[in-house]
Structure 1
Amino acid sequence: MSPAPHTPLRIFLVRHAHAAWALPGVRDFDRPLDERGREEAARLAATMSVNGFDPDRVYCSNARRCAETLDILQKARTGGGLQVDYSDALYASGHDAYLDLIGSAHDQSIQSIMLIGHNPMIEDTAQALLQNDPAVFESALGHGFPTAGLMILDCDKRGGSAVRGGARFVGLLSPVDA
């Protein structure tokens, strides 16, 4: 689904699907999805497909659990190649790295972007994008950002205006909804 005609940018925020606990000797960065996570990601992929949620560009943390979530989402796509950029910053930095990527979306041919990342950064990003409407943020994420959750936001402007509270809440889907 493309943004509404008057909306220059649609943002999809995705928290990676449920991951296994780290085994001895396994770094947090290398934690894979567990069975529950693979099922969550498959449900999210089906929901995105049914609703026509097909981002023009994806920014994904290069942590294993995020890359595996993206892989499941890509396998469910019917369209052509997806522009994907993997980012260390989405794993190692705070939510400002997420906002920087959103703020850098100046290319008018890109109507929608997806960020696949981690909590608390993904939730903090949502809060920053919705800072002009804190009641909506609290209503949507009062219980936290679910694993394999998808928040959909529309921005009338791009760049810094989008990341300074310039987003409108469209919806939040969790694997439970799928």
Structure 2
Amino acid sequence: MKILGLFRHAKSDWNDARLRDFDRPLNARGRKGADVMGRHIREHGIAFQRVLASPAVRVTQTIEISAQSAGGSPPVIWDRRIYLANSATLMEVLREQEGDPAAIIMVGHNPGLEDLIFDLVPDDGSSPLRDVVEEKFPTAAYAVLELAIERWSDIADNCARLVHLIRPRDLDPDLGPQPAD
């Protein structure tokens, strides 16, 4: 069995129209969300051996803030393919992982992360949290999947159970939907 954490970047700032999408930083709510989620990920207790991450600014800041709140981070592998990737690309990145770490966390973007959950977790009622993801996998959401595989190269559709899902609003009501969301 392998463990896959999926962590969507925190809320980003849309105020500077001159910035490329890739260069958008976190806004104040995003920084707070990354902090809250970093503490939760630490308290949840999974010892991730590797972080796979998009190099977009909002992801790098999410990792920096959440790692500080969590008291550190495993090694980060920055992979440009994760930036705005679809589920098939994300699975390919996971299949390429060498050394077969027991637990990996991927930090990136929607709709790719959400679609990855839909592809990995069967829609058969075995993971009730899947229905919550169908409603929305919001910014800074964190999901944990148990994959019935021995090697990352074996990852395939319907090989996982969604066993944990937490959104920033579940930990701090002030981080819930706002009128502009």
Q: Taking structure 1 as the reference length, what is the TM-score of the superposition? A: 0.86
Distance 1:92 1:144, change over 3 A: closer
Unaligned runs of 5+ residues in structure 1 are 1-7
Q: Report percent identity of matched pairs.
A: 29
Aligned twin of 1:127: 118
Q: Which segment drifts farther, 54-63 or 69-78?
A: 69-78
CA distance, structure 1, for counterparts of residue 71 and residue 61 of structure 2: 18
Q: Does 1:171 align with 2:161?
A: no
User: For 1:148, which of 123, 140, 146 is the aligned residue?
Assistant: 140
Unaligned runs of 5+ residues in structure 2 are 172-181
Aligned twin of 2:86: 94
Distance 1:101 1:38, change over 3 A: same
Question: Contact between 1:22 and 1:28, CA under 8 Å: does it hold in 2?
Answer: no
Runs of 4 or more, structure 1, over 4 Å off, are none
Q: Does 1:30 align with 2:5?
A: no
Distance 1:30 1:22, change over 3 A: farther
Question: Contact between 2:33 and 2:140, CA under 8 Å: does it hold in 1?
Answer: yes
CA distance, structure 2, for counterparts of residue 101 and residue 174 of structure 1: 25
Question: Contact between 1:45 and 1:76, CA under 8 Å: does it hold in 2?
Answer: yes
- Quote the offset at 1:164 in angstroms: 1.9
CA distance, structure 2, for counterparts of residue 22 and residue 53 of structure 1: 36
Number of equivalenced pairs: 168
Q: Per chain length, whose mean CA-contact separation is higher, i.e. which structure has more relative contact order (CA < 8 Å, sep 6+)?
A: 1
CA distance, structure 1, for counterparts of residue 145 and residue 99 of structure 2: 18
- Quote the offset at 1:31 in angstroms: 0.5
CA distance, structure 2, for counterparts of residue 160 and residue 100 of structure 1: 8
- Quote the offset at 1:76 in angstroms: 2.4
Question: Contact between 1:62 and 1:87, CA under 8 Å: does it hold in 2?
Answer: yes
